[in-house]
Amino acid sequence: MRRRWMAALAVSLTGLLTLTACGSGESAGTGGGGTPDAKVEVFSWWTGPGEADGLKAMRAIFERENPGQQFVDAAVAGGSGDQARALLASKLNANQPPDTFQGHAGAELQGYIKAGKLESLNFLYDELKLKDVFPQQLIDQISVQGQIYSVPVNIHRSNVLWFNPSVLQEAGITSPPATIPAFIADLEKVKAAGKIPLSIGSQWTVVHLLESVLLGSLGTDAYNQLWSAQADWSGANVTKALTDFKTILSYAGTPVEDWQPAAKQVADGQAAFNIMGDWAYGYFHNPPDGGLGKVSKTDFDWAPAPGTDGTFMWLSDSFTLPKGAPNRDGAVAWLKVAAGKEGQDAFNPLKGSIPARKDADKSLYKDYLEWDLAQWASNKLAGSIQHGVVANDAWRAAINDAVGLFQQDSDVAKFQQSLADAAKNSGQ
């Protein structure tokens, strides 16, 4: 598997470097004049239904406002962005940055920041008064020693409990569980009714499950402290949370290949529950050419993950300004669209996410997104592990390794020690 992945990476890297070679030379030295030949290479992993449409909508605004700039879509396919990030690292290490690139806001960017690959965007936050329109908690969580290095264009929610109302009814469950103990009790009821209590996918989806269980068991303040210098991963409260996780995981069905087939088990009535980010809504809701064509509140429904009501576990796609960007002025112009109200309201309804800004046009956000927008405006915030907010890439990889071993041996003490060691060695 690793050899096949490396071969694919080599082919993709060759293609990407060819794309860069075709465009970067003409982009250099364009300055602020915005000549007709000025190219702005925008690197992302938005190639799928919804996200590609949202990118196209922002591109239209950019081209209208910047007629002297030519948008170059350097999107790289690959779901969660793992392949795109690998290719991006190669470009940055070779000092061949795109003009701007997508990354998850938060700790995921720390490696680039420490390596001196990114410019601070404080000047842009001041010019556009972004600290007035982004929630203060968000500003706090993306700041590094007083500097901000990315512009969040959207917000996704990680801690969502998706469920099948009919399966719950058959099991005698009248409402979604609001606490970890209630969740465990309901999982047992579903098991007794003969359905899969909890669907899971590949290993990263189990890390995704872990972050919601930690938040639900520990509470918001204790969870957030895990990512601070005062963290105590060896404490009794963490032991209890991991014991809860072990119990919950014992009710999981056979892992399927990824999050979509795990979500489909819920939509098809094979499973009762799935904990996944809000991108699952588009998969449930969208027509069959890009989704399952299911009806919300009938075929599927949602609630905060057990124990997390009142807390929004967030992740965000954002854009950056690399040092040495061939067309810096064009990149700044793109960042202004990504940060702006018009750009975010054009992008997010199509992507299936909500704006980072507090002044969104609420009339554009329906059904799940309407609920999500209200939650974002009122909830406390906690950052996702799996999706790059609270743990840098090395730390996240160590947590993934620990979860993989735990799936094999279910040893809570060993698991907790591995997580404590990962935190100690994180360098964060």
Average pLDDT estimate for 335-364: 95
Q: Are residues 299 and 202 in the same domain?
A: yes
Q: Are residues 167 and 281 in the same domain?
A: yes
The pLDDT tens digits for 40-52 are 999 998 887 788 8
pLDDT value, residue 47: 86
State how many domains the chain has: 2
Q: Are residues 190 and 247 in the same domain?
A: yes
**To 5 degrees, how large is the angle CA 164–CA 173–CA 246?**
80
Residue 79 has pLDDT above 60, yes or no: no
pLDDT value, residue 197: 98
Q: Are residues 335 and 297 in the same domain?
A: no
DSSP code string of 12-37:
HHHHHHHHHHHHHHHHTT-TTS--TT
> How many other CB atoms are found less than 10 A from the CB of residue 100?
28
Residue 240: band (very low, low, confident or very high) from pLDDT cuts 50, 70, 90: very high
Closest CA to 369 of 281, 297, 288: 281
| The amino acid at 189 | K
The pLDDT tens digits for 210-221 are 999 999 999 999
pTM here is 0.84
Q: Are residues 260 and 404 in the same domain?
A: yes
146 occurs within a structural domain: yes
> Which of 60-64, 75-79, 134-138, 222-226 shows the lowest per-residue confidence on average (mean pLDDT)?
75-79
Residue 405: band (very low, low, confident or very high) from pLDDT cuts 50, 70, 90: very high
Residue 29 has pLDDT above 70, yes or no: no
Average pLDDT estimate for 187-199: 98
Domain of 214, CATH number, reads: 3.40.190.10
Q: Do 409 and 245 contact (CB within 8 A), yes or no?
A: no
4 occurs within a structural domain: no
pLDDT value, residue 86: 83
Average pLDDT estimate for 267-275: 98
pLDDT value, residue 26: 36
pLDDT value, residue 220: 97
Residue 333: band (very low, low, confident or very high) from pLDDT cuts 50, 70, 90: very high
Average pLDDT estimate for 172-187: 98
pLDDT value, residue 337: 98
Question: Bigger pLDDT: 336 or 17?
Answer: 336
- Pairwise CA distance, residues 95 & 115, whole Å: 12
Burial class (CB in 10 A: 0-12, 13-18, 19+), 93: exposed
Q: Are residues 148 and 253 in the same domain?
A: no
Residue 17: band (very low, low, confident or very high) from pLDDT cuts 50, 70, 90: very low
pLDDT value, residue 300: 98
17's tokens:
């470097």
The pLDDT tens digits for 84-136 are 888 898 899 899 999 999 999 999 999 999 999 999 999 999 999 999 999 89
27 occurs within a structural domain: no
Q: Are residues 63 and 133 in the same domain?
A: yes
Residue owning tokens 């992507």: 351
Question: Bigger pLDDT: 354 or 5?
Answer: 354
29 occurs within a structural domain: no
Question: Bigger pLDDT: 413 or 12?
Answer: 413
Q: Are residues 162 and 304 in the same domain?
A: yes
pLDDT value, residue 30: 38
Q: Are residues 84 and 184 in the same domain?
A: no
pLDDT value, residue 41: 97
Q: Do 366 and 372 contact (CB within 8 A), yes or no?
A: no
pLDDT value, residue 78: 60
Q: Are residues 77 and 179 in the same domain?
A: no
Q: Which domain holds residue 117?
A: 37-154+316-381
pLDDT value, residue 295: 97
Q: Are residues 70 and 88 in the same domain?
A: yes
355 occurs within a structural domain: yes
Percent with pLDDT over 90 in the chain: 78
Average pLDDT estimate for 375-384: 93
Q: Residue count of the chain, please give it.
A: 428
pLDDT value, residue 141: 85
| The amino acid at 163 | F
Closest CA to 338 of 324, 353, 325, 326: 353
47 occurs within a structural domain: yes
412 occurs within a structural domain: yes
7 occurs within a structural domain: no
Residue 28: band (very low, low, confident or very high) from pLDDT cuts 50, 70, 90: very low
pLDDT value, residue 121: 98
Q: Are residues 162 and 257 in the same domain?
A: yes
Q: How far apart are the first and last CA of the chain?
A: 31
